[in-house]
């Protein structure tokens, strides 16, 4: 008898340590300037488990570069102005309102009053100024710094009073308020010391004690177990409330399990060990749909993503002595008709069907149908045509020999390699389809899968490749993040890097248009400029656009307020509003690990 | 069965398997690279003998896509023809031909082992893939074991500094960070390596990585055999080093060589898939059992399309046959040497 009693005590204690420790939301104080959220009113309690592909590398929002770290960090911090994931437009966050000066260079932001960090300390303009100093400090090397520096000059942050901050840009910048999305506001009281002592880059590592870390996001760090999981708990002082004036978030805990790759994420979800999956491949998605009737999962195909996959030919200035073979083939690649012919011969519908299992969309430009605000609808979508491709090649001086092999104007056979990442099975599939498509034109194409980093090194450093299949995009739908791809001096101007001058007249025109759109504040005018950019790109084929996958996500049926979006983070962007429906929560609790 | 009968049966089976793989072009109904994009992941075709109108010679139906995969289009029968004309191929890489053992008329398609994601015939790919995989597996095993025998014997028999040096070298090879080494090695090679080049490359890489472990095993055996009484006696009678090695010591290693070979062949066939990951293996569209198996690394493929396990089955069957042959050969030799 006694042993049973003891056992019960132990079980209760274990349950208490594992569960009840989540802090209750703090009572709402009338001086707090809370943001009211629409959406279903949920119930408090429960934990949500997410499977992650890898382990985060840091919890420092200023230095984190990898998506996995940012996935966790994003739940613990908040920004001044957010991009609403559903409407793709900006909305107030920590700044409850803002004014733009008529010249578009200065922004005056009013901060929410009386709100607190997750450790209970108040938030005000000093924290904002401090945070921007961190992002702008060259010594820290934040990846966000590039966004905040224009023409080599940083934006200037001034505190006007305790709850008002002014940002002055070095030059007009369209949609500058979008810059604030994702820039976490950090607690000066916790980080000032390490910053002044010069070891900020080491602050907030995975080994930091939860008490050393605080943010303005819906959750705060509770526990990190190396190699296994990271547990976040409710931030009791979070600054959002639901329609019934209950403080968010509803969930007690958010747990990230480190499971490995995408397949493991799917297996864990199937086994019921995790509650949500995002960025599913179409194959895994159809696997889950087969079990949907039994499991009752909420699976969603959100339509085309903002990612674009493309084939690019190496048009870089290569050293003809060292890479003579590539230099010789560049004569073909530089010929617009050659690129157009390749584009005409590629069967994009097959790619959508075989690579994405029809859960994707063929692309003919850099802006796909996933981008509601910016896509140029007038870009033509020509059907695949081998005849058109042959005509183009013929008019460019190419010919065919008796066995159907394509010969260049000097009589040499057309043969080249396509490199792609060996860990991306979808792109290897695209390459294999393209190889077959182009063989119908008599081109001999070799597919060479390389280790991802080795491939990037060839594309960005040594230029020792002939053609590559890659993917870009996926973040903000605005044209500004695309600047580094299309500006001739951009860091991601993949087909021809390090151009001192625009190499062609159309690249020069794109440069002018992109710069113009950046300082044009009117949306309709900006759209006109960006439409023209898309048109020039489609006409000159620096990339042969292939296809974009749909955003595919899933969640258990008992999760309420599940509103996935095509923008990152697809399923957790509204983690503060997610809740577990009551009927199933008891079962969930019984399953506590 | 008596060991001798086993040897005959197994040798015959293995010979048949290798012949079929050598004559892949003739036995396979299709080219290994020819895609049929309407038959992505089509299951194996069923061979029928009977339809509503009665009995017929063997025939198949076409697969047509269906929301749940594929279903048979029973409106047209496609009889299986033997010794039929089809896609061009080369027998033994030399003689051009378009004769196939069997086939059906277009647009019908006979897929004995189903189709892969590009609608390529898995059975044809299996046969063509066996050419590279078995050649790489067998040759690399032979080279590895030959090198291991030389190194292990020298180290174990002569000892002293030769032993120290060779075993230190072996340890160095065992602890090299191969991942970075292979990524680095790939950077020095031209982007596209021809089929023959790939073949040589695979054998060399596998051989270089593989020799150290069996060399240590053989060294151990040689070391213990060297001081056996009968060896010492033979030496006392004036036997030369060469004689002692040949007559008394190397036969001791024979058993371990056979078991090592049986273990290494399947391992090396699969290693080719790993090397493909570094761009060192056989690349699309050329099949090998290794790169065919790599499709199964995707969870959804593994659970949805059982017929893509065919290369694994082929690998297991081949390995078991080699393993059994090694086993019975070993017994036969032992019983023989006693007699």
ipTM: 0.81
The structure tokens listed for A548 are 């974009």
Q: Which of A285, A352, A417, A451 to mutate to test the interface with B (most CBs of B within 10 A)?
A: A451
Q: pLDDT, tens digit, for every residue of B184-240? A: 777 777 888 777 788 888 888 888 888 888 999 999 988 888 888 888 888 888 888
Q: Percentage helix, strand, coil, to 5, in chain A? A: 35, 20, 45
Q: Which of A449, A455, A459, A461 to mutate to test the interface with B (most CBs of B within 10 A)?
A: A449
A122 secondary structure, DSSP code: B
Domain at A253, CATH number: 3.40.190.10
Nearest C-alpha in A relative to B35? A436
The structure tokens listed for A356 are 């994405």
Q: How large is the greatest C-alpha to C-alpha distance in chain A, in angstroms?
A: 95
User: Would you place residue B339 in the very low, low, confident or very high pLDDT band (cuts 50, 70, 90)?
Assistant: very low
Answer yes or no: do A563 and A577 share one domain: yes
Question: A31 vs A112, A118, B164, CA distance in Å?
Answer: 10, 17, 79
Mean pLDDT of B60-81: 87
Residues in chain B: 339
CA–CA distance, A75 with A59 (Å, rounded to integer): 11
String of DSSP letters for A399-467: EE-TTS-EE-TTS-B-EEEEEEETT-HHHHHHHHHHHHHHHTTT-EEEEEEE-HHHHHHIIIII---SE
Picking from A215, A201, A251, A300, the residue whose alpha carbon sits closest to that of residue A49 is: A251
Answer yes or no: do A335 and A440 share one domain: yes
With an 8 Å Cβ cutoff, are B299 and A446 in contact?
A: no
CA–CA distance, A365 with A485 (Å, rounded to integer): 13
Contacts of B186 in chain A (CB under 8 A): 450-451, 454
CA B320 centroid distance within chain: 12
CA–CA distance, B2 with A303 (Å, rounded to integer): 67
Question: A175 vs A477, A478, A530, CA distance in Å?
Answer: 12, 8, 14
Answer yes or no: do A353 and A481 share one domain: yes
Contacts of A457 in chain B (CB under 8 A): 187
* A4 CB-near residues (< 8 Å, 6+ apart): none
* A297 CB-near residues (< 8 Å, 6+ apart): A288, A291, A554, A555, A556, A557
Answer yes or no: do A166 and A128 share one domain: yes
Residue A111: strand pairing partners: A95
With an 8 Å Cβ cutoff, are B285 and A432 in contact?
A: yes
With an 8 Å Cβ cutoff, are A449 and B192 in contact?
A: no
Which of B88-97, B190-199, B310-319: highest mean pLDDT?
B310-319
User: Would you place residue B304 in the very low, low, confident or very high pLDDT band (cuts 50, 70, 90)?
Assistant: confident
Picking from A151, A447, A99, A278, the residue whose alpha carbon sits closest to that of residue B198 is: A447
Please name the helix (run of DSSP H) or strand (run of DSSP E) that holds residue A158, with its range, or none.
strand A156-161
Kindly state whether residue A5 falls inside one of the protein's structural domains: no
CB-based contact A496:A487 (threshold 8 Å): no
Q: Which of B300, B303, B305 to mutate to test the interface with A (most CBs of A within 10 A)?
A: B300
Q: What is the pLDDT of residue A434?
A: 96
Domain enclosing residue A160, as ranges: 77-201
Picking from A460, A420, A447, A416, the residue whose alpha carbon sits closest to that of residue A325 is: A416
Q: Which of A347, A355, A358, A432 to mutate to test the interface with B (most CBs of B within 10 A)?
A: A432
The structure tokens listed for A195 are 């910053």
- HEC string of B196-239? HHHHHHHHHHHHHHHCHHHHHHHHHHHHHHHCCHHHHHHHHCCC
Cα A145–Cα A147–Cα A149 angle in degrees, nearest 5: 70
Comparing CB atoms, the residue among B37, B284, B300 nearest residue A447 is B284
Q: What is the pLDDT of residue A4?
A: 52
With an 8 Å Cβ cutoff, are B284 and A451 in contact?
A: no
Mean pLDDT of B92-96: 79
End-to-end Cα, chain B, rounded Å = 20
With an 8 Å Cβ cutoff, are B183 and A417 in contact?
A: no
CA–CA distance, B68 with B56 (Å, rounded to integer): 29
With an 8 Å Cβ cutoff, are B298 and A425 in contact?
A: yes
Answer yes or no: do A313 and A445 share one domain: yes
Q: pLDDT, tens digit, for every residue of B18-53? A: 999 988 888 999 988 888 888 889 999 999 998 888
With an 8 Å Cβ cutoff, are A451 and B35 in contact?
A: no
Contacts of B297 in chain A (CB under 8 A): 425
Q: What is the pLDDT of residue A593?
A: 36
* A480 CB-near residues (< 8 Å, 6+ apart): A173, A174, A175, A178, A518
Answer yes or no: do A40 and A187 share one domain: no
Contacts of B183 in chain A (CB under 8 A): 451, 453-454
Q: pLDDT, tens digit, for every residue of A292-315? A: 888 889 999 999 998 899 999 999
Q: How many Å lie between the alpha carbon of A323 and the closest alpha carbon of chain B?
A: 11
Contacts of A354 in chain B (CB under 8 A): 37, 40, 117-118
The structure tokens listed for B97 are 């031909």
User: CB neighbours (10 Å) of residue B236?
Assistant: 8
With an 8 Å Cβ cutoff, are B279 and A354 in contact?
A: no
Q: How many Å lie between the alpha carbon of B150 and the closest alpha carbon of chain A?
A: 35
For the domain bounded by B125-338, which CATH number is listed?
Answer: 1.10.3720.10
* A408 CB-near residues (< 8 Å, 6+ apart): A331, A332, A397, A398, A414
Cα A205–Cα A211–Cα A216 angle in degrees, nearest 5: 85
Answer yes or no: do A94 and A237 share one domain: no
Three-state SS for B81? strand
Kindly state whether residue A565 falls inside one of the protein's structural domains: yes
Domain at A145, CATH number: 3.90.76.10
Kindly state whether residue A11 falls inside one of the protein's structural domains: no
Is residue B285 less than 8 Å (CB to CB) from chain A? Answer: yes
Is residue A509 less than 8 Å (CB to CB) from chain B? Answer: no
Q: How many Å lie between the alpha carbon of A421 and the closest alpha carbon of chain B?
A: 9
With an 8 Å Cβ cutoff, are B283 and A448 in contact?
A: yes
Cα B131–Cα B134–Cα B139 angle in degrees, nearest 5: 115
pTM comes to 0.83
With an 8 Å Cβ cutoff, are A436 and B35 in contact?
A: yes
CA–CA distance, A256 with A56 (Å, rounded to integer): 10
- Residues of chain A below pLDDT 70: 1-21, 474, 583-593
* Backbone dihedral angles phi then psi of residue A238, each to the nearest 5 degrees: -55, 145
With an 8 Å Cβ cutoff, are B303 and A447 in contact?
A: no
Contacts of B118 in chain A (CB under 8 A): 354, 429, 432-433, 436
Q: What is the pLDDT of residue A8?
A: 52
CB-based contact A553:A302 (threshold 8 Å): yes
With an 8 Å Cβ cutoff, are A422 and B279 in contact?
A: yes
CA–CA distance, B172 with B175 (Å, rounded to integer): 5
Kindly state whether residue A88 falls inside one of the protein's structural domains: yes
User: Would you place residue B303 in the very low, low, confident or very high pLDDT band (cuts 50, 70, 90)?
Assistant: confident
* A557 CB-near residues (< 8 Å, 6+ apart): A295, A296, A297, A298, A584
Nearest C-alpha in A relative to B300? A284
CB-based contact A407:A436 (threshold 8 Å): no
Say if residue B261's pLDDT is above 90.
no
Measured torsion, CA atoms of residues B256, B258, B262, B265, in degrees rounded to the nearest 10: 100
CA–CA distance, A397 with A407 (Å, rounded to integer): 9
Answer yes or no: do A317 and A439 share one domain: yes
| Beta strand ranges found along A212-305 (DSSP E) | 219-225, 229-234, 240-241, 253-258, 276-277, 298-304
Is residue A452 less than 8 Å (CB to CB) from chain B? Answer: no
CA–CA distance, A268 with A284 (Å, rounded to integer): 12
Answer yes or no: do A312 and A399 share one domain: yes
Nearest C-alpha in A relative to B198? A448
Picking from A145, A127, A284, A106, the residue whose alpha carbon sits closest to that of residue A191 is: A127
CB contacts < 8 A (A, B)? 83
Nearest C-alpha in B relative to A323? B190
With an 8 Å Cβ cutoff, are B284 and A432 in contact?
A: yes
Mean pLDDT of B260-282: 79
Domains in chain B: boundaries: 48-109, 125-338
Answer yes or no: do A174 and A225 share one domain: no
Token pair 């009665």 in the structure block, residue:
B54
With an 8 Å Cβ cutoff, are B298 and A283 in contact?
A: yes
CA–CA distance, B188 with B173 (Å, rounded to integer): 20
The structure tokens listed for A171 are 């030059």
Picking from A170, A185, A163, the residue whose alpha carbon sits closest to that of residue A31 is: A163
Kindly state whether residue A422 falls inside one of the protein's structural domains: yes
* A256 CB-near residues (< 8 Å, 6+ apart): A50, A51, A52, A56, A71, A72, A229, A230, A231, A232
Kindly state whether residue A361 falls inside one of the protein's structural domains: yes
CA–CA distance, A288 with A284 (Å, rounded to integer): 6
CB-based contact B167:B216 (threshold 8 Å): yes
Kindly state whether residue A514 falls inside one of the protein's structural domains: yes
CA–CA distance, B284 with A428 (Å, rounded to integer): 9
Is residue A344 less than 8 Å (CB to CB) from chain B? Answer: no
Nearest C-alpha in B relative to A437? B35
More confident: A337 or B68: A337
CA–CA distance, B173 with B156 (Å, rounded to integer): 18
Is residue B286 less than 8 Å (CB to CB) from chain A? Answer: no
Answer yes or no: do A415 and A499 share one domain: yes
Contacts of B279 in chain A (CB under 8 A): 422, 448-451, 454
Picking from A160, A150, A176, the residue whose alpha carbon sits closest to that of residue A108 is: A160
Domain at A408, CATH number: 3.10.105.10
Chain B segment 57-116 residues within 8 A of A by beta carbon are none
Is residue B304 less than 8 Å (CB to CB) from chain A? Answer: yes
- How many independent structural domains does chain A possess? 3
Nearest C-alpha in B relative to A450? B279
Q: How many Å lie between the alpha carbon of B112 and the closest alpha carbon of chain A?
A: 21
Contacts of B301 in chain A (CB under 8 A): 283
CA–CA distance, A473 with A363 (Å, rounded to integer): 13
Is residue A429 less than 8 Å (CB to CB) from chain B? Answer: yes
Three-state SS for A540? helix
Contacts of A448 in chain B (CB under 8 A): 191-192, 279, 283
Kindly state whether residue A94 falls inside one of the protein's structural domains: yes
């Amino acid at each position: 008898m006694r042993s049973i009693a003891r056992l019960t005590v132990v079980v209760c204690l274990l349950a208490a340590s594992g569960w009840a420790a989540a802090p209750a939301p703090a009572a709402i104080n009338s001086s707090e300037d809370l943001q009211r959220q629409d959406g279903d009113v949920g119930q408090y309690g429960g934990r949500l488990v997410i499977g992650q592909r890898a382990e985060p590398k840091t919890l420092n929002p200023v230095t984190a570069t990898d998506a996995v770290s940012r996935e966790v960090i994003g739940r613990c911090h908040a920004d001044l102005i957010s991009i609403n994931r559903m409407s793709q437009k900006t909305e107030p966050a920590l700044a409850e309102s803002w004014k733009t000066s008529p010249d578009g260079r200065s922004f005056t932001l009013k901060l929410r009053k009386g709100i607190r960090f997750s450790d209970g300390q108040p938030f005000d303009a000093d924290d904002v100024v401090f945070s921007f100093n961190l992002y702008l400090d060259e010594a820290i090397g934040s990846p966000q710094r590039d966004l905040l520096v224009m023409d080599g000059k940083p934006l200037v942050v001034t505190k006007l009073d305790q709850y008002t901050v002014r940002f002055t840009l070095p030059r007009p910048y369209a949609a500058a308020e979008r810059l604030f999305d994702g820039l976490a506001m950090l607690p000066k009281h916790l980080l000032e010391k390490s910053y002044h002592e010069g070891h900020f880059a080491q602050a907030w590592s995975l080994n930091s004690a939860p008490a050393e870390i605080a943010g303005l996001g819906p959750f705060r760090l509770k526990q990190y177990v190396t190699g296994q999981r990271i547990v976040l708990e409710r931030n009791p002082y979070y600054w959002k409330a639901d329609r019934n004036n209950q403080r968010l978030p509803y969930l007690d805990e958010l747990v990230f399990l480190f499971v490995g790759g995408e397949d493991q994420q799917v297996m864990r979800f199937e086994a019921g060990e995790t509650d949500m999956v995002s960025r599913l491949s179409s194959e895994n998605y159809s696997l889950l749909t087969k079990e949907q009737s039994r499991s009752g999962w909420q699976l969603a195909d959100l339509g085309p993503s903002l990612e674009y996959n493309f084939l690019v030919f190496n048009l870089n200035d290569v050293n003809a002595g060292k890479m003579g073979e590539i230099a010789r083939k560049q004569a073909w690649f530089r010929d617009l008709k050659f690129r157009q012919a390749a584009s005409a011969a590629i069967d994009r519908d097959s790619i959508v069907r075989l690579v994405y299992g029809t859960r994707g969309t063929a692309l003919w430009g850099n802006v796909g149908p996933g981008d509601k605000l910016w896509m140029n609808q007038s870009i033509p979508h020509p059907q695949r045509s081998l005849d058109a491709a042959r005509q183009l090649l013929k008019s460019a001086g190419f010919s065919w020999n008796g066995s159907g092999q394509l010969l260049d104007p000097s009589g040499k056979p057309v043969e080249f390699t396509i490199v792609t990442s060996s860990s991306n099975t979808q792109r290897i599939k695209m390459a294999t389809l393209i190889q077959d498509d182009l063989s119908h034109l008599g081109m001999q194409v070799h597919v060479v899968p390389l280790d991802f980093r080795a491939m990037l090194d060839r594309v960005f450093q040594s230029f020792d490749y002939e053609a590559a299949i890659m993917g870009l995009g996926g973040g903000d739908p605005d044209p500004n993040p695309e600047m580094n791809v299309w500006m001739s001096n951009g860091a991601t101007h993949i087909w021809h890097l390090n151009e001192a001058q625009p190499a062609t007249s159309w690249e020069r025109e794109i440069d002018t248009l992109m710069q113009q759109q950046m300082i044009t504040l009117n949306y309709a005018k900006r759209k006109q400029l960006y439409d023209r950019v898309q048109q020039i790109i489609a006409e000159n084929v620096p990339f042969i656009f292939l296809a974009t996958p749909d955003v595919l996500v899933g969640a258990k049926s008992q999760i309420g307020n599940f509103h996935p979006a095509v923008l990152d983070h697809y399923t957790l962007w509204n983690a503060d509003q997610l809740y577990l429906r009551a009927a199933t929560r008891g079962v969930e609790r019984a399953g506590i690990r | 069965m008596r060991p001798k009968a086993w040897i005959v049966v197994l040798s015959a089976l293995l010979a048949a398997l290798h012949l079929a793989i050598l004559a892949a072009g003739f036995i396979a109904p299709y080219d290994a690279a020819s895609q049929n994009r309407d038959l992505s992941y089509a299951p194996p075709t069923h061979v029928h003998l009977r339809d509503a109108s009665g009995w017929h010679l063997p025939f198949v139906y076409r697969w047509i896509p269906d929301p749940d995969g594929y279903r048979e289009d029973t409106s047209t029968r496609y009889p299986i023809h033997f010794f039929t004309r089809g896609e061009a191929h080369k027998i033994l890489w030399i003689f051009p031909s378009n004769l196939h053992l069997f086939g059906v008329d277009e647009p019908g398609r006979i897929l004995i082992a189903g189709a892969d994601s590009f609608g390529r015939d898995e059975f044809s790919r299996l046969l063509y893939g066996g050419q590279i995989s078995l050649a790489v597996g067998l040759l690399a095993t032979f080279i590895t074991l030959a090198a291991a025998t030389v190194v292990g014997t020298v180290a174990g028999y002569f000892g002293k500094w030769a032993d120290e040096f060779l075993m230190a070298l072996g340890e160095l090879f065992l602890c090299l960070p191969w991942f970075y080494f292979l990524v680095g090695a790939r950077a020095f090679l031209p982007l596209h390596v021809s089929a023959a080049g790939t073949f040589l490359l695979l054998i060399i890489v596998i051989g270089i990585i593989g020799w150290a472990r069996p060399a240590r095993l053989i060294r151990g055996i040689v070391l213990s055999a060297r001081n056996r009484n009968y060896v010492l006696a033979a030496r006392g009678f004036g036997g030369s080093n060469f004689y002692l090695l040949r007559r008394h010591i190397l036969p001791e290693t024979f058993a371990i060589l056979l078991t090592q070979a049986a273990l290494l062949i399947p391992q090396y066939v699969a290693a080719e898939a790993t090397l493909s990951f570094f761009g060192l293996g056989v690349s699309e569209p050329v099949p090998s059992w290794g790169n065919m198996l790599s499709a199964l690394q995707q969870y959804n493929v593994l659970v949805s399309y059982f017929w893509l396990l065919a290369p694994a089955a082929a690998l297991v069957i081949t390995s078991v046959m080699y393993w059994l042959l090694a086993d019975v050969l070993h017994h036969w030799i032992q019983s023989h040497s006693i007699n």
